[in-house]
Every structure is written in structure tokens, then in C-alpha cells.
């Protein structure tokens, strides 16, 4: 066994350090979480966290909904419910998924505490320690935490501006099989990717699906941002064209309220049964109160108009980010142009190291997430994720101005003295560059 790392709680050594299960070794504080403490200071412009702008919700109407719910249906809303989730809400979720093209039965749906919980349950029911999960390079930080908490091995598949590359996926699956390891899942975020900001077009989706089908693996399609496209078109879910080989994850976190913690999985029959049992083990049942709040909101409010409000808010912020990046960033810096969602993925010039630069950025009152957090294998040193979902446009512009200043200073230092990070970036072990044109 690896020697366990000494972790301190306050000033004391943790007395339980040798008692933890092996699977907790993968549970380290994510860079996003560690950043929140610093980045939440009001003077720092945080382009780090992915917090939805919930202030754009009709809060008075929601307050009325909640008051009415407790008054009229409190005995149900405040009671335990079913492990699969409320049946009325499952029917309403079918309408919510209509724009992404999914046709299903309420019985195919399992409601969970956010889609994060569904992700955890899918991995729990499929993966034994050592099983391989294939993911995009880069991928969602907290999905990596789930895979590592179940002691999965993660294999990254390169992306381009259309997302996961099918040929690279085919090769990665073949090489996992050739090595004698057992591949279990292909995890993908096809629409408005976190963190890459790119979207698979219809042809790319079909190609990726074909590779996954022919490999006999299960696809886990994570789609929290699908309705948040800025040109008002909604990408068709992969699950719309394949019901047996795909588990689809959806959520109300970005279209209604993340704090209610209501998400769902759409799964083939046998998988759905296992997910319900796993859901019961984890939580007995998802919160009835949160589910009925969402259900009432969907039934009584123009929820799709609100989605359009969110699109407008995020489009304006995306534009503020892109315009200021274009006008302020030093030559050699590149970034992706998201057609929806919350994120743009930046590549720093001349081998600058985003992790090493972070303390300087925070001192200059701007925060981002360094790229390495989005990989299980140390890639991403020259990348960072910027999110534009939460700050007002003027704050975004100010944040980019500060960040551009930090990058220019780093470049000057590297030029004059040869910064260790920049030198390491040029001469150190060559981390494969993500191909995110
Ligand atoms: N998947 C992705 C790609 C995400 O970005 C998020 C939230 N940041 C989630 C899943 C989890 O969302 P929730 O649990 O709030 O539904």
C-alpha cells in the first residue's frame, strides 16, 4: 500500500488517518473547492466557479409556489417519497427533454439529488476498482472525483473543436482492451462542454455513438447545459437516437435552481432498476419538498421563457468575456468560443503554467480554475477555465483586464529571467497539448 498522507484537521493530526478506506485516497480537495474560499472575497473577480445566476429567477413567484406547496400539500411535500422519484415530476421531465429529442416513459427516469448524484450512482453500479472509464480531455472535475472515489482508471480521449474525436476514442478503447483491462463507460458532455466550451455537431455525435456501440460499452451522456444554447437552437441528445446503450443525465440546476438539487437519469430498464436501489441506499428517496417545488414551478410558471431569460443573461456575459479576451489578451493566448453553457477554455502563450500563475492572479484580484484539475493524468498545465455565468458583464471585463495584466507580467518575467514555469513548459516532459482549436 502507498504510505498514507498526513492530513491535519485544524492544528491536530487526524487520528483516523490509518483507518480510512482505500477508496478515499482519491478524495482530495478539488482545486475549485479550495479556490472558493479566496475567490468568494468580494474584491476578487471570480471567473472560477460555475455558479448559475439564480438571481435571474422570478423569486417572488417561487416564494409563492413554495408557500402554496407547504400550505396545500405540506403533508406530502414534507414526507418521505419514492426511491425512483415523484411520478408527476417524472412525467413533466418528459416535456423538459422534448427539445433535446428524447422520447421516453416516466418509468425510464430516476430522480436524484442533482445529476451529480446520478453520475455517482451510475459509476457505483457499473465500476469495480480498476475498471476503465473513457472521458474527454479535459473533462468535468467532479466527474473525475467520482471515478477516482470508485477507484476507476481514467483514460482521456483527445478533443477538437467538435468535442471527443471518434478515431481517438476507437484507438483508446482498443488499447485498453489490448492491455487486458476492463473498459466500462464512455463519459461524454456533448453540448456546451465543461470545461472546454465546445459542442459535438450532429455528425460527430453519430460517429462517437457508432464507436461506442461497436465497442459494446455503455455511454454516459451528461447534459446539464443542453437548453442553454445562445443561438436558441437545442442540440439533439445522443440518447434521442439510442435508448439501450446510453444513460442520459439531466438536471434542473442550470434551468431552475441548483440549490434545490434535483436532477435525473434516463436509463435502460435493467440499469434503471439498479439505480433506484442504489438511490435508496444512498438517500432513501430524493427530497420530496424539492421535487414538488420543481413540479409546481413547471406546472404554474412559464419555465421555458425563463430558460430564454437565462440564455440572454449568459449570452451577454459570454460576449463580454470574448470581446475583452480579444482586445486584451497578449498574442499567443487562445480560447474556445462557446455556443452555450458557462465556460471558455484558455491556452496560455509560451508554455506559461496556469497553476503556478494562480497565486499571482489572485493577488491581482482575479480567479480562474487551472487546467490540470480537469485531467486525471497531469495534462492541462498551460490551460485554464474561465466561467462567465456569475459575474456581471462589467466585472467580467475587469477580471479579464486583470488576468491579461498578469499574463503579460509573466511573459515579461519569462523573457527577462526565463521563468522556471515557462522553461519547464518548454523543456519539461512534454505534456500532450489538448487539441482544442
Ligand atoms: N455535470 C456537469 C458537466 C456539470 O458541469 C455539473 C455542475 N457543475 C454537473 C454535472 C452536476 O450538476 P448538478 O448536480 O447540480 O445537477
Domain layout of the chain by residue ranges: 21-56+306-425, 59-300
Nearest to 189 by CA among 243, 143, 256, 131: 143
Mutation choice for ligand 1 from 48, 52, 115, 225, CB with most ligand atoms inside 8 A: 115
The alpha carbon dihedral of 235, 240, 244, 249 has a sign of positive
**Which pLDDT does position 29 carry in this prediction?**
67
**Which pLDDT does position 38 carry in this prediction?**
73
Cell digits of residue 139: 473533462
**Which pLDDT does position 415 carry in this prediction?**
80
pLDDT in tens, 63-119: 999 999 999 999 999 999 999 999 999 999 999 999 999 999 999 999 999 999 999
The answer, yes or no, to whether any atom of ligand 1 lies below 6 A from the CB of 343, is no
In sequence order, the β-bridge partners of residue 387 are 343
Tell me how far CA of residue 332 lies from CA of 219, 329, 366, 367, 407, in angstroms: 36, 8, 20, 21, 11
Contacts of 48 (CB under 8 A, 6+ apart): 32, 35, 36, 39, 367, 368, 369, 385, 387
Poorest-confidence range of 20-24, 187-191, 302-306, 363-367?
Answer: 20-24
Q: Separation of 127 CA from ligand 1 center, angstroms?
A: 20
pLDDT at 361 over 50: yes
Work out the pLDDT band at 23, boundaries 50, 70, 90: confident
How far apart are alpha carbons 321 and 324 in whole angstroms? 5
Q: Which of the four CATH numbers 3.30.460.10, 1.10.10.10, 3.40.50.12780, 3.90.1150.10 does domain 21-56+306-425 have?
A: 3.90.1150.10
- Nearest ligand 1 atom to the CA of 253 is 15
**Kind and range of the H or E run holding 69:** helix 59-77
Centroid of chain to Cα 290: 22
Is residue 55 exposed (0-12), middle (13-18) or buried (19+ Cβ within 10 Å)?
exposed
**Which pLDDT does position 13 carry in this prediction?**
87
**Kind and range of the H or E run holding 433:** none
User: 306 with 58: CB under 8 angstroms?
Assistant: yes
Q: Separation of 254 CA from ligand 1 center, angstroms?
A: 9
Phi first, then psi, for residue 343 (nearest 5°) are -135, 150
Q: What is the DSSP string of 134-151?
A: EEEES--HHHHHHHHHTT
How far apart are alpha carbons 136 and 138 in whole angstroms? 5
**Which pLDDT does position 433 carry in this prediction?**
39
Region 385-395: what's the mean pLDDT?
Answer: 97
**Which pLDDT does position 24 carry in this prediction?**
87
Contacts of 25 (CB under 8 A, 6+ apart): 2, 4
Mutation choice for ligand 1 from 33, 85, 135, 224, CB with most ligand atoms inside 8 A: 224
| Higher-scoring residue by pLDDT: 435, 105 | 105
- Nearest ligand 1 atom to the CA of 251 is 16
The answer, yes or no, to whether any atom of ligand 1 lies below 6 A from the CB of 258, is yes
How many residues in total does the chain contain? 437
**Which pLDDT does position 346 carry in this prediction?**
98
Whether cis (ω within 30° of 0) applies to the bond prior to 195 is: yes
Architecture category of domain 59-300 in CATH: 3-Layer(aba) Sandwich (3.40)
- Determine what percent of the chain is predicted with pLDDT higher than 90: 85
How far apart are alpha carbons 154 and 430 in whole angstroms? 20
pLDDT at 429 over 60: no
pLDDT in tens, 178-220: 999 999 999 999 999 999 999 999 999 999 999 999 999 999 9
The answer, yes or no, to whether any atom of ligand 1 lies below 6 A from the CB of 263, is yes
Through-space distance between the first and last CA atoms of the chain, rounded to whole angstroms = 41
Work out the pLDDT band at 32, boundaries 50, 70, 90: low
Work out the pLDDT band at 49, boundaries 50, 70, 90: confident
Model-wide pTM > 0.85: yes
pLDDT at 31 over 60: no
**Which pLDDT does position 424 carry in this prediction?**
45
Phi first, then psi, for residue 139 (nearest 5°) are -145, 175
pLDDT in tens, 126-135: 999 999 999 9
On average, the pLDDT of the chain sits at 92
- Residue 112, SS3 per DSSP: strand
| Higher-scoring residue by pLDDT: 402, 6 | 402
Mutation choice for ligand 1 from 142, 146, 248, 259, CB with most ligand atoms inside 8 A: 142
Do the first three CATH levels of 21-56+306-425 and 59-300 match, i.e. the same topology?
A: no
Contacts of 423 (CB under 8 A, 6+ apart): 351, 414
Centroid of chain to Cα 55: 21
Work out the pLDDT band at 25, boundaries 50, 70, 90: confident
Q: Separation of 378 CA from ligand 1 center, angstroms?
A: 22
Amino acid at each position: 500500500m502507498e504510505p498514507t498522507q498526513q492530513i491535519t484537521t485544524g492544528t491536530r493530526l487526524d487520528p483516523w488517518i490509518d483507518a480510512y478506506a482505500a477508496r478515499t485516497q482519491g478524495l482530495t480537495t478539488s482545486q475549485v473547492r479550495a479556490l472558493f474560499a479566496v475567490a468568494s472575497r468580494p474584491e476578487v473577480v471570480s471567473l472560477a466557479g460555475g455558479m448559475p445566476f439564480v438571481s435571474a429567477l422570478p423569486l417572488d413567484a417561487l416564494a409563492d409556489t413554495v408557500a402554496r406547496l407547504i400550505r396545500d400539500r405540506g403533508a406530502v411535500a414534507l414526507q418521505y417519497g419514492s426511491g425512483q422519484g415523484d411520478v408527476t415530476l417524472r412525467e413533466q421531465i418528459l416535456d423538459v427533454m422534448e427539445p433535446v429529442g428524447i422520447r421516453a416513459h416516466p418509468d425510464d427516469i430516476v430522480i436524484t439529488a442533482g445529476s451529480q448524484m446520478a453520475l455517482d450512482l451510475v459509476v457505483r453500479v457499473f465500476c469495480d476498482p480498476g475498471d476503465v472509464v473513457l472521458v474527454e480531455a479535459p473533462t468535468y472535475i467532479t466527474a473525475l472525483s467520482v471515478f477516482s472515489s470508485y477507484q476507476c482508471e481514467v483514460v482521456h480521449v483527445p478533443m477538437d473543436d467538435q468535442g471527443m474525436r471518434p478515431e481517438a476514442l476507437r484507438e483508446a478503447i482498443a488499447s485498453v482492451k489490448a492491455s487486458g483491462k476492463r473498459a466500462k463507460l464512455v463519459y461524454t458532455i456533448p453540448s456546451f462542454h465543461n470545461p472546454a466550451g465546445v459542442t459535438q455537431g450532429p455528425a460527430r455525435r453519430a460517429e462517437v455513438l457508432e464507436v461506442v456501440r461497436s465497442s459494446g460499452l455503455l455511454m454516459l451522456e451528461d447534459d446539464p447545459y443542453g437548453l442553454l444554447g445562445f443561438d436558441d437552437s437545442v442540440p439533439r441528445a445522443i440518447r434521442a437516437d439510442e435508448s439501450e446503450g446510453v444513460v442520459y443525465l439531466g438536471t434542473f440546476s442550470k434551468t431552475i435552481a441548483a440549490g434545490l438539487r434535483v436532477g435525473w437519469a434516463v436509463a435502460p430498464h435493467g440499469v434503471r432498476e439498479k439505480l433506484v436501489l442504489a438511490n435508496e441506499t444512498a438517500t432513501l428517496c430524493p427530497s420530496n419538498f424539492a421535487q414538488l417545488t420543481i413540479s409546481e414551478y413547471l406546472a404554474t410558471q412559464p419555465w421555458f421563457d425563463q430558460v430564454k431569460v437565462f440564455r440572454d443573461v449568459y449570452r451577454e456575459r459570454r460576449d463580454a468575456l470574448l470581446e475583452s479576451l480579444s482586445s486584451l489578451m497578449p498574442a499567443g493566448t487562445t480560447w474556445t468560443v462557446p455556443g452555450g453553457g458557462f465556460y471558455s477554455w484558455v491556452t496560455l502563450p509560451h508554455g506559461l503554467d496556469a497553476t503556478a500563475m494562480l497565486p499571482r492572479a489572485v493577488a491581482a484580484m482575479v480567479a480562474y480554475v487551472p487546467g490540470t484539475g480537469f485531467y486525471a493524468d497531469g495534462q492541462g498545465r498551460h490551460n485554464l477555465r474561465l466561467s462567465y455565468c456569475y459575474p456581471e458583464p462589467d466585472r467580467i471585463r475587469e477580471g479579464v483586464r486583470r488576468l491579461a495584466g498578469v499574463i503579460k507580467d509573466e511573459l515579461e518575467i519569462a523573457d527577462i529571467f526565463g521563468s522556471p514555469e515557462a522553461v519547464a513548459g518548454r523543456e519539461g516532459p512534454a505534456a500532450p497539448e489538448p487539441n482544442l482549436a
